[in-house]
Amino acid sequence: MSSLEILRFAVRALLANRLRSLLTMLGIIIGITAVIILTALGNGASQYISNQITGLGASSVTVAARAPSGTAGAAAGASSRPLTSADATALADPQGAPDVAYVAPVVQSSATVTSGANSETDTVIGSTPEYFPSSNSTVASGRAYTQAEVDDGRPVAVLGSTVASDVFGAGVDPVGRTVLINDSPFQVVGVLQSKGQGGGFSNADSNVLAPISTVQSTLTGYGNLNQIDVGARSSAVQTAAESEIYSILDRRHNITDPNDRDYQLISSAQIAQVLNSTLSTLSLLLAGIAGISLLVGGIGITNIMLVSVTERTREIGIRKALGAPPSAILAQFLIESVILSALAGLIGVGIGIALTWIPLPGGFRAIIVPTAVVIAVVVSIGIGVFFGGYPARRASRLRPIEALRRE
């Protein structure tokens, strides 16, 4: 008999038992869909967060004030000191900190930015030119402000891309024009490249960058610094630079207990490390859940295939009594398994891919992992074919009378 006839038998048998066929397929569909979606979610989250980290800036260290922790710190709360310009100057001393390349003191304030009738509230960040590389900010048009402008306290500003388009209107180049920041006129010398959603935890596109001296004179006053960005000479000496910062600031802040500092160092490498370890835990968790879904799906397929073949042992007996060779019986059941598994695999992949198009809250997307799709499909179909084929093979080798006696 031809393979076409066997194919016809297989299709006829599948159609004759629609419910059973559907149930078998359901196991495969759920398994494959779950694996695709869960791995895509893990992958999407991972890419989203690593984008965020790249937006933080390269090998710089941020020094920020914090309340001392622990009982000693709580008791000595009054002795906690904010960061000052004098701290920044001390860190820039090449004797005490030979591995520090630059120091960028940072002050920031919320201010109203106005041009003509347009006005909005943005964060104004005052610093030195080193702040640009340190914060991973790139100038898209115009230029950054210079050290000379910082020294002279010139009223110049570099606008974030959102600020530029909101205040001056989209498509207008604001370079050379004047904005009012809390009623003080600033000349716009540049516009920053957009960092988009991945550009940091606060939206860097709605910041205005200006020389620290100007911001202090017009907005914040000459008080404390919000943070100090410190750049190491190279990433190789980053650790050395960090310990120099600790020793200088510990001395200046009278810190005796390293666990009780009134400031902290945050490096992007540190953040990346923490986030990466969190991410790999998350990915592992999702992969685990996906694996379990595949396992459960596989057990479902196994069950229904075993039941389906066992239930049809009598039919196999009849076919054998009518002269079906063992190979034809085996081929029919194998083809049934392959059709079911492949069809269900296709549907599962389709549903899985369709579901990853659903937009998710928080601005990240599920990104399909092709390897996971292939593994899921291969495993599910493999299970379907093996557990459909194995009992069929056993049944095809029974003596017809033994197969016929099964009820």
Partner 1 sequence: MVPAAVLPAAAVVPAAAPGDDEHPAMTRTIPRRPDEADVPVLDVRAMSKVYGEGDTAVHALREVNLVVRRGEYVAVVGQSGSGKSTLLNILGCLDAPTSGRYLLDGLDVADLDEQQQSVLRNRQIGFIFQSFNLIPRTTAFANVELPMVYAGVSRRDRRQRTEAALDLVGLAGRSDHRPNQLSGGQQQRVAVARALVTSPALLLADEPTGNLDTESTADVLNLFDGLHSTGRTIVLITHDDEVAERADRVVVVSDGRLSERNGVRS
Q: How far is the CB of 353 from partner 1 (least distance, A)?
A: 35
CA distance 379 to 398: 29
Chain centroid offset of residue 176 CA: 38
Instruction: Tell me how far apart the alpha carbons of residues 307 and 215 are, in angstroms, rounded to a whole number.
Output: 78
Using the 8-state DSSP alphabet, how is residue 78 labeled? G
Nearer to partner 1, 324 or 372 (CB): 324
Strand 207-211 and strand 118-127: pairing? parallel
Give every CB contact of residue 147 below 8 A, 6+ residues apart in sequence: 128, 129
Smaller CB separation from partner 1, 9 or 168: 9
Compute the least distance from the CB of residue 5 to partner 1, in Å.
5
User: Among residues 13, 100, 76, which one has the least CA distance to residue 328?
Assistant: 13
Q: Please, what is the minimum distance in Å from the beta carbon of residue 403 to partner 1?
A: 9
Smallest distance, Å, CB 317 to partner 1?
8
Determine contact, residues 65/83, Cβ cutoff 8 Å: yes
Q: How far apart are CB 25 and partner 1 at their closest, in Å?
A: 19
CB of 4 to partner 1, least distance (A): 10
Are the CB atoms for 308 and 20 separated by under 8 Å? yes
Quick one: tokens of 137? Answer: 């900010």
> In this structure, are residues 260 and 80 in contact, taking their beta carbons and an 8 Å threshold?
no
Nearer to partner 1, 154 or 320 (CB): 320
Catalog residues that contact partner 1 under the rule CB under 8 A. Answer: 1-2, 5, 9, 12, 16-17, 314-315, 317-328, 397, 399-401, 404
Which of residues 249 and 331 has its CB atom nearest to partner 1 in the complex? 331
Pull the structure tokens for residue 307.
């039941």
Least Å from the CB of residue 14 to partner 1: 11
* CA-closest candidate to residue 251, choices 382, 86, 367, 112: 86
Nearer to partner 1, 154 or 319 (CB): 319
- Cβ atoms of 124 and 106 within 8 Å: the answer is no
Beta carbons of 225 and 85 less than 8 angstroms apart: yes
Q: How far is the CB of 22 from partner 1 (least distance, A)?
A: 15
Q: Residue 31, Cβ neighbours under 10 Å: how many?
A: 29
Give me the least distance between CB of 396 and partner 1, in Å please. Answer: 9
The least CB distance from residue 335 to partner 1, in Å, is 14
Q: Which residues, at least 6 apart from 335, have a Cβ–Cβ distance to it below 8 Å? A: 6, 7, 10
Task: Give the amino acid at 194.
Answer: S
- Nearer to partner 1 by Cβ, of 300 and 391: the residue is 391
Angle at 93 between CA 128 and CA 244, to 5 degrees: 100
Q: Would you say 185 or 325 has its CB closer to partner 1?
A: 325
Q: Which is nearer to partner 1, 107 or 328 (CB)?
A: 328
Identity of the residue, 18 or 176, whose beta carbon is nearer to partner 1 in the bound complex: 18
Q: Which segments of 17-141 does DSSP mark as H helices, in order?
A: 18-54, 70-75, 85-91, 131-134
Nearer to partner 1, 171 or 323 (CB): 323
Q: If you write DSSP's letter for every residue of 308-334 in order, what string do you get?
A: HHHHTHHHHHHHHHTT--HHHHHHHHH
